[in-house]
Amino acid sequence: MHADTPYDDLTPDLVLDALEAVGQEVDGRLLQLNSYENRVFQVGLEDGQFVVAKFYRPGRWSDAQILEEHAFANELVAAEVPAVPPLTLQLAQGREASLQGTPPTLGFFKGHRVAVSPRRGGRSPELEDPEVLTWLGRFLARMHAVGAQRPFAHRLTLDVDHTGRSARQWLSDSDSLPMETRNSWLAVTDQALDLCQQAFDRVSGLQMRRLHGDCHPGNILWTPQGPHFVDLDDACMGPAVQDFWMMLSGDPRDRQIQLNALLDGYESIGEFDWRELKLIEPLRTLRIIHHSAWLARRWDDPAFPAAFPWFGSGNYWQQQIDLLRQQIEIMQTPDDQPAWMQG
């Protein structure tokens, strides 16, 4: 298996054989679902049910990091927080991988690591509805209460060094940056990261807890019983507000209304440190930088050039420079709060 194309051998037959190998009685129905980082499939079982199989990208997470994701999902379910837990698998002798006291949830087959979970349906949440946002706020508060009970031992911490500077350094060391924009991008990135660090430093005693980490509308499914998350792949240690800001959209007035509804729900369940609102734009800035490095790191995977054909051009990097300059201007406003949060 070629290192740059880790899924070349992941044929339908191999997917079905892998599921059989970890104890799932498949019936041949198979549908690939949208996913760039991993490969995810809906698989039919002989009893008529469906499961979702996730094949983890080699080299991205260690076994221990994946198992912490699984353990967090199980903790949420135990606390009656809606989440999709991994199924217990039948592993070949000698290939057990589990955290102490937890069932085996990570399978191994012909060089691939796989997890299996029940299929859960739902639709995208209507984020323009304040009642939906209030419900989501309560949901996040319950998840964060579980997340605050203990730290991750192996998963990443969302901070300026791990999320921003490491991405900046990787791009600087690679050949991804075109010569005509390289120096400008590096300079504006350094300035933006310095401002991000200053913002984090000003929130003294910042509580870092286990989070979803990638809480955008595409990772939330809504049912009549309320919301649930479908993917904890980016679960990390970080400030609570990380799970808020990606749900805010529209003009400044819309974003303020959305934020107020989320916080109303959140604070009906738990406490929120309002100082963390000053981290929204720094967190957005870190994601912008990290996203560029993520695309560059994955460019040898054929799925990425097909999905992101605009990446890597001179125009792309100039747009990133302009975007980071806008973020610098926002972060230099009084109290690090953009205009839409000052009214």
Q: Provide the CATH number for the domain around residue 284.
A: 1.10.510.10
Per-residue pLDDT for 32 more than 80?
A: yes
**Comparison of pLDDT for 14 and 124, the residue scoring more:** 14
Indicate whether 286 and 179 sit together in one domain: yes
Contact 154, 64 (CB under 8 A): yes
Q: What is the CA radius of gyration of the chain?
A: 21
Distances (CA, A) of 227 to 135, 137, 283: 8, 10, 24
- Boundary of a domain, candidates 95, 118, 141: 118
**Comparison of pLDDT for 124 and 160, the residue scoring more:** 160
- Boundary of a domain, candidates 118, 152, 179: 118
Indicate whether 175 and 60 sit together in one domain: no
**Taking the alpha carbons of 250, 251, 257, 260 in that order, is the dihedral positive or negative?**
positive
Indicate whether 46 and 187 sit together in one domain: no
Q: Provide the token pair at 58.
A: 């080699």
Pick from 170, 165, 173: which is nearest to 189 by CA? 165
Indicate whether 277 and 314 sit together in one domain: yes
The predicted-structure confidence for 95-142, as pLDDT tens digits, reads as follows: 566 655 567 999 999 999 999 999 988 888 898 899 999 999 999 999
Contact 279, 204 (CB under 8 A): no
Considering its fold, how many domains does the chain have in total?
2
Indicate whether 169 and 38 sit together in one domain: no
Per-residue pLDDT for 189 more than 80?
A: yes
- Boundary of a domain, candidates 70, 91, 118: 118
pLDDT range class, residue 3, cuts 50, 70, 90: very low
Q: How many helices (H) and strands (E) does the chain have?
A: 9, 9
How confident is the model at residue 154, as a pLDDT?
97
How confident is the model at residue 121, as a pLDDT?
84
Enumerate residues 6+ apart whose C-beta is below 8 A from 13.
none
pLDDT range class, residue 90, cuts 50, 70, 90: confident
Indicate whether 309 and 190 sit together in one domain: yes
Q: Could you say which DSSP state residue 209 is in?
A: E
Indicate whether 307 and 164 sit together in one domain: yes
Residue with token string 């924009």: 181
Indicate whether 142 and 105 sit together in one domain: no
How confident is the model at residue 100, as a pLDDT?
56
Indicate whether 71 and 162 sit together in one domain: no
Indicate whether 92 and 169 sit together in one domain: no
Which range of residues forms the domain containing residue 71?
Answer: 12-118
The predicted-structure confidence for 236-285, as pLDDT tens digits, reads as follows: 999 999 999 999 988 888 999 999 999 999 999 999 999 999 999 999 99
Which residue type is seen at 334? P
Q: Provide the token pair at 88.
A: 């217990």
Indicate whether 139 and 111 sit together in one domain: no
Active site residues: 214, 231
Rounded to whole angstroms, the Cα distance separating 162 from 173 reads 16
Pick from 207, 233, 208, 203: which is nearest to 218 by CA? 233
Rounded to two decimals, the pTM is: 0.91
Average pLDDT, the chain: 91
Enumerate residues 6+ apart whose C-beta is below 8 A from 256.
340, 341, 343
Measured distance between the N- and C-terminal CA atoms of the chain, rounded to whole angstroms: 56
